[in-house]
A and B are shown apart, each in its own frame.
Chain A
Amino acid sequence: MKVTFKIWRQENPNAKGDFKSYEVDGLTEDMSFLEALDQLNEELVLKDEKVIAYEYDCREGICGQCGVFINGRAHGPHDNITTCQLHMRSFEDGQTITVEPWRAKAFPIIKDLVVDRSAFDRIIESGAYISSKTGTAPEANAIPIPKEIADKAMDAAACIGCGACVASCKNSSAMLFTSAKINHLNSLPQGKAESSSRLKKMTYQMDLEGFGNCTNTGACEIECPEGISIKNIAEMNAAWMKQKLFG
């Protein structure tokens, strides 16, 4: 099959970017979207042009490094997948595919389709851990954790940190990301001791990074590769209110 990629090219963070179109032929439906870009890059090299910078690593939907806007949707036309899990069978022969980087104030563009998501790391750094050192743990079965609680913590912990939630939110909110991490740790007995300071510090850092607020459109949970529920945000907000009212 043959498609036209209309791709955002931007030399560096300060350069003015623009779309550039590339026709790619000889693709097959079984190829992944990123493999189609790989092929385009090989063709560019042979034409003596600079390759397009885009991110990926595991190519199996778990590392969270890939992620671009494809025809106006984070990670492409399907719900709940990563860019690397998208295949060319999802497109028509002859289609034009528009590819853009994540657009958010807190995710500045580095080059072409590559953005800087270190704001997420700083949110984690502000409090997404349990402060106990290696070697200090009690016996694993000493504190039973009922299955429902462990399952709920796992649902929230599944976040891969790709940033699709931010990219698809009209306010560039990171509340799905932040709330999922807070709820993961705060729901477990090990995380209880620091639950209130964690909530405060992580939400403070989130605001500091320039992410917007949630207005409940639900776009994030549709694009989230792990299908993390927007209920996490409601729960985080409820915990916030509770803390404000009762300390």
Chain B
Amino acid sequence: MHLNSKVPEGSLEKKWQNYQLKSQLINPANKKKLSVIVVGSGLSGAGAAATLAELGYDIKCFCYQDSARRAHSVAAQGGINAAKNYQHDGDSVYRMFYDTLKGGDFRSREANTYRLAELSAPLIDHFVQQGVPFAREYGGTLVNRSFGGVQVQRTFYARGQTGQQLLLASYSQLYKMIHAKKVQMFPRSEMVDLVVINGKAKGIIVRNLVSGKLERYAADAVVLATGGYSRVFRLSTLAIGCNGSALWKAHKKGAYFAAPSFTQIHPTALPQSSEAQSKLTLMSESLRNDGRIWVPKQKEDSRKPKDISEEERDYYLERRYPSFGNLAPRDIASRAAKERIDAGFGVGRLKNAVYLDFKHAIEKFGLETIKDRYGNLFNMYKKITGIDAYTTPMLISPAAHFSMGGLWVDYELMTTIPGLYAVGECNFSDHGANRLGANSLLQASVDGYFILPNTINNYLADEIKADHPTTDHPEFDKAEKEAQAHIDKILSINGTKTVDHFHRELGKIMWQDCAMSRTKKGLEKAIKQIEALKDDFWKDVKVTGNQNEMNTELEKAYRLADFIELGILMCTDALQRDESCGAHFREEFQTSEGEALRVDETYSYVSAWEYNEGDFTLHKEHLEFEFVKPTVRSYK
């Protein structure tokens, strides 16, 4: 199948406008007759559901949590980027586009990335109007700060809770439309399969997490807004319930999976402290605005940080990347931390961390200013570790974070299955091989609020006259039976090992061989190990309880079954890419200074994988750089 990105004609600045001019419109009376399913209620899902409902479509929105307000967008701390140039520091849509494209190491589509930057400014207007209490100057205008990989201040924030405030705004807007009876909300409901009728996405099978029953829902189009899949590493910054199952089911039904191995490892999470740990808490990248990262110059130095003098400290990011310093992009900062830790300079009880120190910032700006900027993050740090970071440097460590990869989508955010869309983190489109800080909330929101509501009409216009699907179609029977058989099989194994045991094992393999640093040998070994783990899972997993009840253990089990298969695809993808780019660092491909070595002649494409009965076929979308010449990404 030829991958048609459907990028419109014209200059970068005109493409989105040209697209909208040519796309089909639907009159309000007909919109009422069309229904759309939205899976996920985070920023992209809630934004899409609310906006599509405002436009007049009939919406059903699903989430696995007890309320739409819990979606993991809530946890993004630092901020959201927008090319407003309020700080008068030379910012522009073009510069933001360029920073994002370069930050992604030239592995994303120019037109999509430009549109992301273009729509960023109206998005801030939107959220202000919805009541988001962004940080303000005394005079009442909006404040900005810097984030990694850029040299301007374009990040808007609401203390260290920006994601929460944006999500609550979209949650409010969603509930406004629920009140207007234009959206039906289904919390505690998890999609377990996609229903495809005559090649088009027409519905989903859902497991009601309270009753355990399988339910059918039909619509004229299905939108996946299910977030990232970094829980494949088990230990990650994601919520425990985050999973890749909706994506994986869609993939198995024909949606191509793009660049699955592009995973961002975030440099500033709290280090792992024990085997029992379930999650690694993120400390916002915004802390790198004022905090300085260092390790002792002496190996295995076990003195307290305050006893190590300035001359004995290695501010390694400032040393290696003088022009960006502590604000080097995430992939680079993570690898640099790993390099120091692996070389024996790590600190903390398990020697698996580096220091993030605010001593100088407090001396320079005063304690009150630092409290105002990061108070809630310091409080959070204290609650978790019991340590006061105003007086002792924080201990931080890299952790699996964001999935740049996801379902392949075209310019309209449609997957390779007609009528199936993917928005937000679950698609692959704008971030390339590495995402810049504060671009995640942006992409999720722009996809949901502005892009999808202006592209889905182009598909739905042709569906007005088509048969509207009903849940008694044989394809619904088939999909429900398959989902039922899958669950029955898991419950019937009655083995000797827990789901968490298998997840820990999968996490170890993935972290060892498919995270910050990858090798051909390691990836080949990892694939074999995961295949063995898969066999063992299906022979020896033990899940108690039954299907027709709230059963959290069963939920974990079927999510993990998909993660295991996804893990194999991630390693397969990392293996085929004989180059280093962004977060994908293959040890065989590096410069003499240890930086990523891109191979543009061969690998300037998006890998898009087709599922074939347990095997994967690679398709390539070649990236054409019409407006920007890819350069060696340097932050020195």
**Contact A132/B129 with A38-B278, A89-B386, A157-B165 known, Cβ cut-off 8 Å:** yes
Please give, as numbers and ranges, the residues of chain A lying within 8 Å of B292 by CB-CB distance: none
Please give, as numbers and ranges, the residues of chain B lying within 8 Å of A50 by CB-CB distance: 544-545, 551
What is the CA–CA distance of A150 and B138 in the complex, to the nearest angstrom? 10
Please give, as numbers and ranges, the residues of chain B lying within 8 Å of A147 by CB-CB distance: 136-138, 140
From A89, which residue of chain B is reached at the shortest CB distance? B386
* Chain B 122-144: CB-based contact to A (< 8 A → 1; otherwise 0): 10111011110111111111100
A241 at the B interface (CB under 8 A): no
**Contact A51/B281 with A57-B240, A58-B72 known, Cβ cut-off 8 Å:** no
A148 to chain B, nearest CB (A): 8
Partner of A32, one of B69, B278, B449: B278
Contact A154 B138, beta carbon cutoff 8 Å: no
B10 at the A interface (CB under 8 A): no
Contact A190 B140, beta carbon cutoff 8 Å: no
Contact A38 B500, beta carbon cutoff 8 Å: yes
Interface centre among A60, A116, A134, A145 (most CB of B within 10 A): A134
What is the CA–CA distance of A17 and B84 in the complex, to the nearest angstrom? 56
Please give, as numbers and ranges, the residues of chain A lying within 8 Å of B68 by CB-CB distance: 121
Interface centre among B54, B70, B126, B279 (most CB of A within 10 A): B70
B383 at the A interface (CB under 8 A): yes
Contact A57 B124, beta carbon cutoff 8 Å: no
* Chain B 172-197: CB-based contact to A (< 8 A → 1; otherwise 0): 11011011000001010000000000
From A82, which residue of chain B is reached at the shortest CB distance? B383
Contact B281 A60, beta carbon cutoff 8 Å: yes
Contact A141 B142, beta carbon cutoff 8 Å: yes
A-B pairs with beta carbons under 8 A, tally: 224
Partner of B278, one of A35, A45, A110: A35
Task: List residues 108-124 of chain B with CB under 8 A from any CB of chain A.
Answer: 122, 124
Partner of B279, one of A51, A59, A129, A134: A59
Contact A130 B129, beta carbon cutoff 8 Å: yes
B359 at the A interface (CB under 8 A): no
Contact A117 B139, beta carbon cutoff 8 Å: no
A92 at the B interface (CB under 8 A): no
Contact B158 A154, beta carbon cutoff 8 Å: yes
Chain B binder among A1-9, A61-69, A214-222, A231-239: A61-69
A81 at the B interface (CB under 8 A): yes
Contact A140 B136, beta carbon cutoff 8 Å: no
Contact B179 A125, beta carbon cutoff 8 Å: yes
B394 to chain A, nearest CB (A): 15
Please give, as numbers and ranges, the residues of chain A lying within 8 Å of B47 by CB-CB distance: 134
B385 to chain A, nearest CB (A): 9
Please give, as numbers and ranges, the residues of chain A lying within 8 Å of B135 by CB-CB distance: 150
Task: List residues 40-97 of chain B with CB under 8 A from any CB of chain A.
Answer: 47, 50-51, 54, 65-72, 74-75, 84, 86
Contact A157 B168, beta carbon cutoff 8 Å: yes
What is the CA–CA distance of A187 and B386 in the complex, to the nearest angstrom? 35
B50 to chain A, nearest CB (A): 7
Contact B274 A30, beta carbon cutoff 8 Å: yes
What is the CA–CA distance of A118 and B173 in the complex, to the nearest angstrom? 17
Contact A31 B168, beta carbon cutoff 8 Å: no
**Contact A137/B274 with A41-B553, A45-B542, A55-B66 known, Cβ cut-off 8 Å:** no
Contact B134 A129, beta carbon cutoff 8 Å: no
Interface centre among B69, B129, B274 (most CB of A within 10 A): B129
What is the CA–CA distance of A39 and B188 in the complex, to the nearest angstrom? 24
Contact B175 A61, beta carbon cutoff 8 Å: no
Contact A129 B281, beta carbon cutoff 8 Å: no
Contact A191 B131, beta carbon cutoff 8 Å: yes
What is the CA–CA distance of A189 and B259 in the complex, to the nearest angstrom? 44
Interface centre among A85, A157, A191 (most CB of B within 10 A): A157
Interface centre among A89, A116, A161 (most CB of B within 10 A): A161
What is the CA–CA distance of A102 and B612 in the complex, to the nearest angstrom? 48
B239 at the A interface (CB under 8 A): yes
Contact B210 A110, beta carbon cutoff 8 Å: yes
B438 at the A interface (CB under 8 A): no
What is the CA–CA distance of A213 and B114 in the complex, to the nearest angstrom? 52
A120 at the B interface (CB under 8 A): yes
B323 at the A interface (CB under 8 A): no
Partner of A140, one of B69, B71, B125, B500: B125
B384 at the A interface (CB under 8 A): yes
From B136, which residue of chain A is reached at the shortest CB distance? A150
What is the CA–CA distance of A46 and B553 in the complex, to the nearest angstrom? 12
**Contact A141/B86 with A51-B553, A65-B66, A132-B129 known, Cβ cut-off 8 Å:** yes
What is the CA–CA distance of A227 and B152 in the complex, to the nearest angstrom? 34
B617 at the A interface (CB under 8 A): no
B297 at the A interface (CB under 8 A): no
Contact A190 B128, beta carbon cutoff 8 Å: yes
* Chain A 120-151: CB-based contact to B (< 8 A → 1; otherwise 0): 11001110111111111111110111110111
Contact B129 A138, beta carbon cutoff 8 Å: yes
Please give, as numbers and ranges, the residues of chain B lying within 8 Å of A230 by CB-CB distance: none
What is the CA–CA distance of A143 and B139 in the complex, to the nearest angstrom? 11
Task: List residues 31-53 of chain A with CB under 8 A from any CB of chain B.
Answer: 31-32, 34-35, 38-39, 41-42, 44-46, 48-51, 53
B485 at the A interface (CB under 8 A): no
Contact B277 A184, beta carbon cutoff 8 Å: no
Partner of B383, one of A38, A55, A81, A153: A81
A171 at the B interface (CB under 8 A): no
What is the CA–CA distance of A160 and B69 in the complex, to the nearest angstrom? 8
A114 at the B interface (CB under 8 A): yes
Contact A121 B550, beta carbon cutoff 8 Å: no
Contact B276 A35, beta carbon cutoff 8 Å: yes
**Contact A125/B544 with A12-B549, A42-B500, A87-B384 known, Cβ cut-off 8 Å:** no
What is the CA–CA distance of A139 and B82 in the complex, to the nearest angstrom? 13
Please give, as numbers and ranges, the residues of chain B lying within 8 Å of A31 by CB-CB distance: 274, 276-277
Please give, as numbers and ranges, the residues of chain A lying within 8 Å of B65 by CB-CB distance: 57, 63, 65
B161 to chain A, nearest CB (A): 6
A-B contact pairs, 16 of them (CB 8 A): A38-B278, A42-B500, A46-B542, A58-B72, A63-B74, A85-B383, A85-B384, A126-B179, A130-B130, A141-B141, A147-B140, A151-B136, A157-B131, A157-B158, A184-B131, A188-B131
A interface residues, Cβ below 8 angstroms from B: 11-12, 27-28, 30-32, 34-35, 38-39, 41-42, 44-46, 48-51, 53, 55-65, 81, 85, 87, 89, 110-111, 114, 116-118, 120-121, 124-126, 128-141, 143-147, 149-151, 153-154, 157-158, 160-161, 184-185, 188, 190-191
Known: A111-B549, A190-B131. 12 other contacts (CB 8 A): A38-B276, A60-B75, A62-B163, A85-B383, A121-B185, A130-B130, A131-B176, A138-B125, A154-B159, A157-B165, A157-B168, A188-B133
Q: What 8 A-B pairs are tightest by C-beta distance, nearest first?
A: A144-B140, A137-B129, A129-B172, A137-B125, A154-B133, A153-B133, A150-B136, A57-B239
